[in-house]
Amino acid sequence: MGTSTEELSSDIAQTRQSLTQDVDALQDKVSPAAIIERRKTAVRGRLSTAKDRVMGGSQDAVHGVSGATSGAGEAIEQRVEGSPLAAGLVAFGAGLGIAGLIPASKVEAQGAQRLQEAVKEHGQPVIDEAKSAAQQVGDQLKDKAGEAASELKSSAQESAERVKEEAPTSSSTPDDGFTVGPRV
C-alpha cells in the first residue's frame, strides 16, 4: 500500500527541519564573523595557556598565598618550575616588596629622581618603537583576516553553486502540492 498523506507531510516536515539545521550549521561555519570569533577565542586560549605556564594559574596563586606561612618556598618553586623568566620576576618582586619596607635615604631619593628623569628622556623612543611594532602586527593580522574572509566567501559561493547544480529541478519532480523550499 502507498504511504498516507499524513506520513508524507511528516516526512517533508522532518526533511525541512534537517535541511534547516544543515543550512544553519553551514552558515555558522562559513560566516566571517563566526570565523573571526573562533580565531580570537583560539588566540586568547593560547595566550592564556602561555601566561599560565610562565606566571602560574589562578589556582597556583591562591595556593601560594594561602600557604605562604607554611610553604612559601615550595609554592614559589611550583609557580616558577621550568621557567627562569618567572623565577627572575618572582625574585625581583620579592626584592621590591622588601625594599618598600625600608625607608629611602636622601642619596637614594636623589638617585631615584635622576633615574626617573632619564627614563622620561630616553623611554619615549622605546615606547614609539613598541607602538610601531604593534601597529605592524595589527596591519598584518588585518590583511590575513581579509584574505581568509575572501577565501571563505569564494568557497561559500562555490558550495552554493554546487548545491544549486545538485538540487533537483522543479520540472523533474512531481507536483504533489507540497514545497520543500521557496518556489523560484
* Cα–Cα dist 14/95, whole Å: 69
Report angle CA 76, 78, 79 to the nearest 5 degrees. Answer: 65
- Count of Cβ atoms closer than 10 Å to residue 3 Cβ: 9
**DSSP secondary structure letters along 43-80:** HHHHHHHHHHHHH--HHHHHHHHHTHHHHHHHHHHHHT
pTM greater than 0.75 (yes/no): no
Q: Residue 127's Cα: distance from chain center in Å?
A: 26
Each residue's pLDDT tens digit, 84-113: 777 777 788 888 888 778 777 888 888 888
Phi-psi region of 177 (alpha: psi -120 to 50; beta: other; left: phi over 0): left
3, 12, 1: which is closest to 177 by C-alpha?
Answer: 12
Q: What is the mean pLDDT of the chain?
A: 75
Grid cell 561559500 — which residue? 156
What is the residue extent of each domain of the chain?
104-160
Grid cell 615550595 — which residue? 74
Each residue's pLDDT tens digit, 20-57: 888 888 887 877 778 888 888 888 888 888 777 777 65
As given in the structure block, the three cell numbers for residue 152 are 571563505
